[in-house]
Amino acid sequence: MVTLFHDMMHKEVEVYVDDMIVKSKTPGQHIDDLCKLFERLRKYRLRLNLAKCTFGVGTRKLWDS
Protein backbone atom coordinates (compact mmCIF):
# COMPACT_ATOMS: atom_id res chain seq x y z
CA MET A 1 0.00 0.00 0.00
CA VAL A 2 2.80 2.39 0.89
CA THR A 3 4.45 1.83 -2.50
CA LEU A 4 1.31 2.89 -4.38
CA PHE A 5 1.03 6.16 -2.46
CA HIS A 6 4.72 6.92 -1.86
CA ASP A 7 4.60 10.33 -3.57
CA MET A 8 1.52 11.37 -1.55
CA MET A 9 2.73 10.05 1.82
CA HIS A 10 3.21 12.60 4.61
CA LYS A 11 1.87 15.33 2.31
CA GLU A 12 -1.74 14.60 1.38
CA VAL A 13 -2.11 11.05 2.68
CA GLU A 14 -1.12 9.04 5.74
CA VAL A 15 -1.24 5.25 5.40
CA TYR A 16 -1.19 2.81 8.29
CA VAL A 17 -1.61 -0.86 7.33
CA ASP A 18 -4.97 -0.67 5.50
CA ASP A 19 -6.14 2.70 6.86
CA MET A 20 -5.72 5.93 4.91
CA ILE A 21 -6.23 9.53 5.96
CA VAL A 22 -6.35 12.40 3.49
CA LYS A 23 -5.27 15.58 5.22
CA SER A 24 -5.69 19.08 3.83
CA LYS A 25 -5.51 22.65 5.08
CA THR A 26 -8.66 23.92 3.33
CA PRO A 27 -11.95 22.36 2.21
CA GLY A 28 -11.12 23.13 -1.43
CA GLN A 29 -7.72 21.50 -1.16
CA HIS A 30 -9.36 18.51 0.54
CA ILE A 31 -11.56 17.94 -2.52
CA ASP A 32 -8.49 18.12 -4.78
CA ASP A 33 -6.57 15.70 -2.55
CA LEU A 34 -9.49 13.25 -2.46
CA CYS A 35 -9.72 13.37 -6.26
CA LYS A 36 -6.01 12.60 -6.52
CA LEU A 37 -6.43 9.66 -4.12
CA PHE A 38 -9.47 8.32 -5.99
CA GLU A 39 -7.60 8.53 -9.31
CA ARG A 40 -4.76 6.49 -7.81
CA LEU A 41 -7.20 3.93 -6.40
CA ARG A 42 -8.84 3.59 -9.83
CA LYS A 43 -5.46 3.26 -11.55
CA TYR A 44 -4.61 0.22 -9.42
CA ARG A 45 -8.19 -1.09 -9.35
CA LEU A 46 -8.48 -0.75 -5.60
CA ARG A 47 -11.81 -0.31 -3.86
CA LEU A 48 -12.90 1.33 -0.65
CA ASN A 49 -15.41 -0.17 1.75
CA LEU A 50 -17.86 2.74 2.04
CA ALA A 51 -19.17 1.37 5.34
CA LYS A 52 -15.70 2.06 6.78
CA CYS A 53 -15.19 5.49 5.17
CA THR A 54 -15.71 8.84 6.85
CA PHE A 55 -15.50 12.04 4.81
CA GLY A 56 -15.19 15.68 5.82
CA VAL A 57 -13.82 15.10 9.31
CA GLY A 58 -12.42 18.19 11.00
CA THR A 59 -9.48 18.20 13.37
CA ARG A 60 -10.11 15.56 16.01
CA LYS A 61 -9.03 12.07 17.00
CA LEU A 62 -9.16 9.84 13.92
CA TRP A 63 -7.63 6.53 14.99
CA ASP A 64 -9.49 4.10 17.21
CA SER A 65 -7.75 3.47 20.52
Domain boundaries, the chain: 13-52
Please write the tens of the pLDDT for every residue from 6-64. Answer: 788 888 888 888 888 898 888 899 999 999 999 999 999 999 999 988 887 777 655 55
Which is higher by pLDDT, 3 or 50? 50
- Which residues, at least 6 apart from 37, have a Cβ–Cβ distance to it below 8 Å? 5, 8, 12, 13, 20, 22
pLDDT score at 60: 63
- Given a cut of 50, whether residue 65 has pLDDT beyond it is no
State the Cα–Cα distance between residues 6 and 55, nearest whole angstrom: 22
pTM of the model: 0.75
